[in-house]
Structure 1
Amino acid sequence: MTDLLMTPQLVQLAQACGVATHYWGQSGEQIEIAAETLHAVLGSLGHDTSSPAALSASLEHVRTCDWRRMLPAFTVGVQGQDRRLWVHVTHGDPVNVWIEAEDGFRTDLAQMAYWVEPVEIDGVLIGEASFTISGDLPIGYYTVHAISGARTSTAAMAMTPARLHSEAITGNRQWGFMEQLYATRSRDSWGLGDLHDCASVATWSAKELGAGFLLINPLHAAAPTKPMAPSPYLPVSRRFSNPMYLRIEDIPEFTEAKNKTRKRIEKLAKPLREMNTSTDLLDRDAVWASKRVALEMLFSEGLTKKRAHLFAQYCQGEGQGLVNFAVWSTLCDVYGSNGDTWPSMYQSSSSSAVQQFAGEHQMQVQFHMWMQFVFDEQLATTQSSAKVAGMAIGIMHDLAVGVHPQGSDAWSLRSVLAQNIGVGAPPDMYNQLGQNWHQPPWHPVALAEAGYLPYRDLLRTVMRHAGGLRIDHVLGLFRMWWVPSGMQANMGTFVRFDFEAMIGLLVLEAQRAGVVVIGEDLGTVEPWVQEVLRDRGILGTSVLWFENGDGGEVLAPEHWRHEVLASVTVHDLPPTAGFLRDEHVRIRHELGLLARPVEDERADAQAQREAWACILRERGWLAIDGEATIDAELDAMAVALHRALGSSPARLLGISLPDVMGDRRAQNQPGTDQEYPNWRVPMTDATGQVTLIEDLQARTAEVRVFVDALK
């Protein structure tokens, strides 16, 4: 390895690959990226930087790689805009180009007058011909064909909507609750909230309170073995789901099961239901252990002919991706979820040994596929229930940033993921040491070479039974903070993606599914990024505590953006009752996460609270009561903050479900793993008593105070 110096060649290679050599911090200062980081990131992209000669060769490869291709790896068009398509052939040779639609319809492309100097590649002069892709083409996927003499090539293409249109948000402004589903339990839950509970909250909030949507945490798959990772944002697969959220009694096979089997299942459920009234931390392992036994009982009794047919149809539609997930899950059953400890012959999803393993464990593989099938059915029922209850949007799902480095997606999609990299975020006000989520990012070039198919499959699956989709850290579709393995989170750098492809495909799939898309665009954001999202019909995110002016002052709600989902708080902060009592400062101080004195943090929190109290009083939303206790004042302020939220021009408004009950405990503290009980806190009220869905329903009048505050 050459000395890790910031040489001109290293900078040129980084820039050519979309790797940032500096970035602007939250305070506006320019921060230079270390040469060590650039070497590691470029290495993960497949470039040799071990010597000056290797750097030169890598740079030459990047500069000439397109000239060695006949067609671009992937082309994205936007309706209403003609696009130039380049085709590389031997200079002077004729070439014919056409595109084929999904239904087989062929359209010949016309060559356009666009001169590009030919380039010599390996002693051959290569010319660039240009063709016009009409912006009048229907949205959808196409195959581009090119033929020049004996040489032929094909590549994938998409025509995307210029803007995502959704009937659900074209009329009146919609509001909805935001919940962590696992923490939102009913008397019939098996110790954790499930899809039946989700439908119950959606139905109640729509019929009784007029809610238009219900935003829930990601339902992505976790490893099927103990211990089950608590974070819904560190899944083993984003495409497939976590059967822990299944309501066992709602599965058709339960209805068809023998009476003896149903009694055994009821026996499994009883001790878990007793956990519903406990304030103890949520126990995923206990819940999953019993649910898995129940699911195995039902599957072992077999499927009716009709059910078997539906199952086969589902499997056919999901294709090899479902098989890969089920095989990985079965490997976990046998060898544990740490893939590094598996026999080497199972490290590659495409190996013959893996195929042999799948054949030897066929029923177990089928079992994991069946669980995804019944999950898909319950998802559909949940969305249908929400719509029938009157919701304009329905269930709004959440898409995590990435996946566990040893999970199913990382195993089966290894060829399109960057290795030895974890994504995260640079230092900011609330996470002053930066964040590393330890999730492998898409490899920008490899993903394009694959026609973005894994990304398209992911979007299509998560949108299938959704009314809305929140994209966590939507900036990751533009650039991501890459942290090389072994380095601290603040030692990363940004790597750019082809955002026209990533955003275009998102809009295309959302338009086809009829889904509203919300991009979580908090944090360090380049202004043009929010403009792109707005222009393409993707809503942004506004959180009251983060809405500040250019000088850092609190921004009054009438100055917030219009095309957003706005809320007072978010899942990475304590509920409003806790935030007003400085829970966010206390937790970070006790865990050693502050980069400055705790007194300064408390002073800033008090200043922010007082600034908001001033705005609320000026507008008559918060009365001054000299005899009120501090707790009473803060509780009144929590409601008043929702009045401020309602006065904003935001298109969608979200109310955190724990807020309406006065819950104070944070669900998640970024920058921690075992130091804080992330994603394991049951929902309680202001007194610390467990709050079940039945309690919410019984206290609808209290809940309505927050809802009415939005009006």
Structure 2
Amino acid sequence: MAAVMEQLHRLAEAIGLARTWWDVDGAQQTVSDTSLASIAGALGYPAGSAAQIAQSLAQLEAERRQPPAMIVTEVGQPTPLPASLARAELTGEDGRTVALPVDRWTLPPIEEPGYYRLSLAGHDCTLAVAPKSCPTVHDFAPGKLWGPAVQIPALRADAARPFGSFGELDEAVRLFAAHGADVLAINPVHALFPGNGKGFSPYSPSSRLYLNSAMGAPELLGLPPLPAREGDDPAGCLIDWESALPRRLADLRALFDSLDAETRARIARDNAPHGEGLQRQALFDALDVHFRPQGADGWRQWPEAYHDPNGPAAAAFAAENAPEVEFHLFTQWLARESLAKVQADARAHGMAIGLLADLAVGVHIGGADSWQMRDTMLQGLTIGAPPDPLGPHGQNWQLTGFSPQGLKRSGYAPWITMIRAALSRAGGLRIDHAFGLSRLWVVPEGEESSAGAYLAYPFLDLIRLTALEAHRAKALIVAEDLGTMPWGFAEPIAEKKMLGMRVLWFERAADQGFIGGQDYTPDSLAMTGTHDTATVAGWWSGRDLEWAEKLGRLPTDSSSEQEAERREWDRGLLWATLTHNTIPRPEPDHPEPAVTAALRHIGHSASALAIAPLEDLLAGREQPNLPGTVTEHPNWRRRLAAPLGELLDEPANAARIAALDTARKA
């Protein structure tokens, strides 16, 4: 048995599974052999017996000998060829072949970033040559830039609508540009399941290649606006996604049915360059709308004949339901072109960067990406996180993502396509949970997060390809680096000039005091908070503690009284950092001065870019999302109390925005 376990551990190491890991407190944890075997099997390397392990090790060795589909390097440095290419073989007259040693077989440096076709000994592959770094903030404009972060559905317009769309985003761009902002960060706008009112989290998309069709704004493209209904957005209410999304789908159908032949021809021309991938997305959406009323949540619950996107059943459905597929092609066109219009308007209004898009860490296990790209996605595994400050009990996000083996086999084609799509309609991209470029916590499907393990990814290749796509798009890259950082992550990210995130709540010294903004690294993004953290007003007033007590989320060894005492102490620490105690500290029920001080703090920071959530600019107490909850907290449902223009005109809100703008320009 010991010998078998030794071989299992060898197999795990060979496929990038870590047997041990260190938790947020620095304690070493060990993954069970049962988990290792289960995860290895899901990755395509059966490990249920000694014979299976031996066969999987042989399979890995055979894969190592295969020539790569892509070699990734960077400008100005020689590139060692992989073992599968850097070799020579000698075959004698008797047919026996022996390998000859080849020492230092390398490609010479290439000075121009780009993609090249490379031919070596009869094997053709792609050579990707990345630049030394991504564009920096100073490539867009001098000085220290700032902007808000907004949850698009929370935005209100003058017309009564159930949630904000790209039309309201376009108005937000205009308003904040007038206040001096150079960037506007948005929540992920990836494709969800059309018309499904229960799956509305922007971080659980169907596809990261295409867009949320409910966000399209026809008025930005010269088409009639969608109807506004009385009672669609009563002030102060939460978004009723369960009724709003089916209604939005019906309104889009009515608009599509009204289009004339000239407009339909225009849509077909605009869609043509997006090829087969867009056609498959539209087919998936049509199938989902067809099967969802029958109780199917994603393609894995469709009849088996439809599981193959290239199969006869899918082809027959497409032919028999061509108008329905064409409708979903229209909704993707509407979302894509209206978002592109928002980015163009942002630049036209004077924003140096414009939109900062957000890339979710994974996709729904039954979504379009896992249907279309099954060979490159994790199968039988979901992704999440072990315990960390944002999720003390660990998290299983019930998402899937690319597999490292699938990425390599495909020559990284889906990764490149995904990054390219995101950057085609924005001035920058925030990569959520960027640690996933180095390793992901993968969990056997249906198991708790504790049954997971870290799976290594081709980190250097992925960040180089991201830098290459950012170079081609002239775009900024932000790598969200909150939580337990993998060893060897920080330096390559810094070398590539990807901005790390410096969030007020996590920037603490060894004595638990808050560090000064002048100590933030220049190549970073400073923030008062994120969608997953308490707002400044919520933290100062203790609103987050009220939620923790209500939901039973206080630390097991603590009480509400102890947490309140600890918060009072922390208020003193934060106020000392924000103001050096030069003015009296406000009471917990009067958080507005603390919010303004926090905005000035990130404004004066050394970070090249500062972003404040809209909730902080408006001194709101409720946060958009509470990690680790689904229905217990109204995640992704909150709306502004009034149209954004009215709120920004309120003197207190205008003064807070001016404080941040002035601090940035000081």
State the TM-score, normalizing by the size of structure 1: 0.87
Measure, in 2, the Cα distance between the counterparts of 1:604 and 1:668: 23
Structure 1 letter corresponding to 2:388? D
Q: Could you tell me which residue of structure 2 aligns to residue 177 of structure 1?
A: 148
Structure 1 letter corresponding to 2:245? W
Q: 1:562 aligned to 2:533? A: no
After superposition, what is the alpha-carbon deviation per residue over 1:345-404, rounded to whole angstroms, capped at 9, x for unaligned? 001212121112111111111111111112121111101111111111111111111111
Using the TM superposition, give the Cα deviation of residue 60 of structure 1 relative to its aligned residue in structure 2, in angstroms: 3.1
Q: How many residues align?
A: 651
Using the TM superposition, give the Cα deviation of residue 308 of structure 1 relative to its aligned residue in structure 2, in angstroms: 4.1
Using the TM superposition, give the Cα deviation of residue 142 of structure 1 relative to its aligned residue in structure 2, in angstroms: 2.1
Q: How do 1:319-468 residues align onto structure 2 when only pairs under 5 Å count?
A: 319-336=275-292, 337-468=297-428
Structure 1 letter corresponding to 2:98? L
Q: Could you tell me which residue of structure 2 aligns to residue 61 of structure 1?
A: 59
SS of 1:363's partner is helix
Given candidates 37, 41, 44, the residue that maps to 1:43 is 41
Query: Compared with structure 1, are the counterparts of its residues 284 and 249 closer, same or farther at alpha carbon in structure 2 (3 Å cutoff)?
Result: farther
Q: Could you tell me which residue of structure 2 aligns to residue 238 of structure 1?
A: 208
Structure 2 letter corresponding to 1:180? Q
In 2, are the aligned partners of 1:424 and 1:480 still within 8 Å (CA)?
yes
Given candidates 655, 660, 663, the residue that maps to 1:704 is 655
In 2, are the aligned partners of 1:396 and 1:470 still within 8 Å (CA)?
yes
In 1, are the aligned partners of 2:217 and 2:334 still within 8 Å (CA)?
no
In 2, are the aligned partners of 1:570 and 1:656 still within 8 Å (CA)?
yes
Using the TM superposition, give the Cα deviation of residue 671 of structure 1 relative to its aligned residue in structure 2, in angstroms: 1.0
In 1, are the aligned partners of 2:158 and 2:643 still within 8 Å (CA)?
yes
Structure 2 letter corresponding to 1:9? Q
Using the TM superposition, give the Cα deviation of residue 428 of structure 1 relative to its aligned residue in structure 2, in angstroms: 1.4
After superposition, what is the alpha-carbon deviation per residue over 1:180-215, rounded to whole angstroms, capped at 9, x for unaligned? 1100111225221111211111111111x2101110
Measure, in 2, the Cα distance between the counterparts of 1:304 and 1:54: 60
Q: Could you tell me which residue of structure 2 aligns to residue 161 of structure 1?
A: 131
Structure 2 letter corresponding to 1:501? D
In 2, are the aligned partners of 1:475 and 1:521 still within 8 Å (CA)?
yes
Query: Compared with structure 1, are the counterparts of its residues 310 and 143 closer, same or farther at alpha carbon in structure 2 (3 Å cutoff)?
Result: farther
Query: Which runs of no fewer than 5 residues in structure 2 stay unpaired?
Result: none
Given candidates 111, 116, 120, the residue that maps to 1:142 is 116
Q: How do 1:77-116 residues align onto structure 2 when only pairs under 5 Å count?
A: 77-86=73-82, 88=84, 92-93=88-89
Q: 1:644 aligned to 2:601? A: yes
SS of 2:157's partner is coil
Given candidates 631, 640, 649, the residue that maps to 2:589 is 631
Measure, in 2, the Cα distance between the counterparts of 1:90 and 1:140: 23
Q: How do 1:269-348 residues align onto structure 2 when only pairs under 5 Å count?
A: 269-271=228-230, 274-305=231-262, 307-336=263-292, 337-348=297-308
Structure 1 letter corresponding to 2:57? L
In 1, are the aligned partners of 2:174 and 2:349 still within 8 Å (CA)?
yes
In 2, are the aligned partners of 1:89 and 1:128 still within 8 Å (CA)?
no
In 2, are the aligned partners of 1:187 and 1:694 still within 8 Å (CA)?
no
Structure 2 letter corresponding to 1:81? Q
In 2, are the aligned partners of 1:253 and 1:299 still within 8 Å (CA)?
no
Query: Compared with structure 1, are the counterparts of its residues 43 and 408 closer, same or farther at alpha carbon in structure 2 (3 Å cutoff)?
Result: same
In 2, are the aligned partners of 1:423 and 1:482 still within 8 Å (CA)?
yes
In 2, are the aligned partners of 1:222 and 1:228 still within 8 Å (CA)?
no
SS of 1:525's partner is coil
Using the TM superposition, give the Cα deviation of residue 138 of structure 1 relative to its aligned residue in structure 2, in angstroms: 2.3
Report which structure shows greater RCO (CA 8 Å, sep ≥6). 2
In 1, are the aligned partners of 2:135 and 2:470 still within 8 Å (CA)?
no
Given candidates 1, 6, 9, the residue that maps to 1:11 is 9
Q: Could you tell me which residue of structure 2 aligns to residue 548 of structure 1?
A: 508
Query: Compared with structure 1, are the counterparts of its residues 55 and 172 closer, same or farther at alpha carbon in structure 2 (3 Å cutoff)?
Result: same
Q: How do 1:540-689 residues align onto structure 2 when only pairs under 5 Å count?
A: 540-550=500-510, 552-599=512-559, 600-618=562-580, 620=582, 623-624=583-584, 630-632=588-590, 634-683=591-640
Structure 2 letter corresponding to 1:460? R
Using the TM superposition, give the Cα deviation of residue 583 of structure 1 relative to its aligned residue in structure 2, in angstroms: 2.6
Q: Could you tell me which residue of structure 2 aligns to residue 694 of structure 1?
A: 645
Measure, in 2, the Cα distance between the counterparts of 1:174 and 1:425: 32
Measure, in 2, the Cα distance between the counterparts of 1:624 and 1:175: 28
Given candidates 431, 435, 441, the residue that maps to 1:471 is 431
Measure, in 1, the Cα distance between the counterparts of 2:223 and 2:110: 48
SS of 1:276's partner is coil
Q: Percent identity?
A: 28
Using the TM superposition, give the Cα deviation of residue 10 of structure 1 relative to its aligned residue in structure 2, in angstroms: 1.7
Structure 2 letter corresponding to 1:160? A
Measure, in 2, the Cα distance between the counterparts of 1:450 and 1:509: 17
Measure, in 1, the Cα distance between the counterparts of 2:2 and 2:372: 33
Query: Compared with structure 1, are the counterparts of its residues 126 and 374 closer, same or farther at alpha carbon in structure 2 (3 Å cutoff)?
Result: farther
